[in-house]
A = this chain, B = another copy of it.
Amino acid sequence: MSFDTGSGITPIDFYFDFSSPYGYFAATRIEALAAQFKRDVAWHPIMLGAVFKTTGAMPLPMIPMKGDYSLHDFARTARFHGIDYAQPPKFPIATQSAARAMLHIHAAHGRHRATAFAQATFKAYFVAGTDISDPEQVAVIASSLGLDGAAIAEGIQTPDIKDRLKTVTEQAMARGVFGSPFCIVDGESFWGFDRFDQLRHFLQNGSL
């Protein structure tokens, strides 16, 4: 593993699926954490369903026994960390449209607008219960940020953007990403919002 402590140039690669509650929790904290250590965050929306085909994993709520616990843990973890949360009525949800919209915004308007869109999308889904599998709702979220919703609804249908999402997901898997949230920085991987304490320690000390 290679380390690049000190220079502070390497970004934190932040992988997530828009349907992941722990991904949402991480999304509310990652920018502040990174800024504290003068790091940028590279946000990568991935298709966890494609990843699960490789690992044999299932969405948490569908696993016997683990499912009920998980629903309880989502809400409890949100309260524990002081994060707004309401279990969405439609869960889990297809996230291609939201992920493609983010990649389209990134390509057209740069990473800051893309990050703002990702944060707004997570909030729309996990606080307001918006159906983010619906391209129209995704366009509404984009419009609320001053972006051209109609252009985005068109953009997410292009082969370029569809391919881009596949590539992002494949590249993530090639780097060992198997869940959401998943952070990689300076060759060190951290799976789960509950590894943010170790991620913080690593950013501070350059080792663990």
Question: Which residues of A come within 8 Å of B, CB atoms?
Answer: 54-58, 63-66, 68-69, 72-73, 76-77, 79-80, 173, 176-179, 189, 191-192, 194-195, 197-198, 201, 208
Contacts and interface: CB of A to CB of B under 8 A. Distances in A.
The main secondary structure of chain A at its interface with chain B is: helix
13 contacts: A55-B64, A55-B66, A56-B63, A56-B64, A63-B178, A68-B176, A69-B191, A72-B189, A73-B195, A76-B198, A76-B208, A77-B198, A194-B195
Given A72-B189, A191-B69, A192-B194, A208 B80 contact: yes
Contacts of A72: 189
Contacts of A76: 198, 208
Contact of A65 (B58, B178, B208): B178
A80 B191 contact: no
Given A80-B198, A80-B208, A198-B80, A191 B55 contact: no
B208 A69 contact: no
A80 B208 CA distance: 7
